[in-house]
Amino acid sequence: MTSDYKVWLMGDNFGWSGPWGTTYGTNLRLLINALTEKGWIAFATTLKVRPPMPWFNLNIMTRADLGAIYQFIRYLGPEGKPSPGYVPAGQTPTGPHAIFP
């Protein structure tokens, strides 16, 4: 592995704005660190969130694939900061963001 992995899956402070409001990619390294593998699988198979997270893809993954994702992210270790919180529709985010029509 190259040193690039040090910044993988740590979320972002770049927002995605649309009719749903403004959302941010989650720091999966911090999220996974707070869950057991069983807890992650339960979370991933029932997750329903706003864009940009492709939750519907996680919902249909096999338990073995979700377990492999969990083990890989645990291997990377907890790093980074939590992503900014959700900004409701009609409110302007303070940081950089893309606007979807």
Give the alpha-carbon dihedral of 44, 45, 46, 48, to 10 degrees. 60
Range of the domain at 38: 14-99
Spatial separation of the C-alpha atoms in residues 17 and 100, rounded to whole Å: 6
Kindly state the percentage of the chain with pLDDT values over 70. Answer: 97
Q: List Cβ neighbours of 41 (8 Å cut-off, separation of 6 or more).
A: 63, 66, 67, 70
Q: Which two tokens stand for residue 3?
A: 């040193």
Local confidence band at 3 (pLDDT 50, 70, 90 cut-offs): low
Model pTM?
0.87
Look at residue 4 and tell me if it is in a domain. no
Look at residue 18 and tell me if it is in a domain. yes
Q: List Cβ neighbours of 58 (8 Å cut-off, separation of 6 or more).
A: 44, 45, 47, 66
Look at residue 41 and tell me if it is in a domain. yes
Number of domains in the chain: 1
Q: So what's the pLDDT on residue 100?
A: 87
Look at residue 91 and tell me if it is in a domain. yes
Look at residue 49 and tell me if it is in a domain. yes
Kindly state the percentage of the chain with pLDDT values over 90. Answer: 86
Q: List Cβ neighbours of 63 (8 Å cut-off, separation of 6 or more).
A: 41
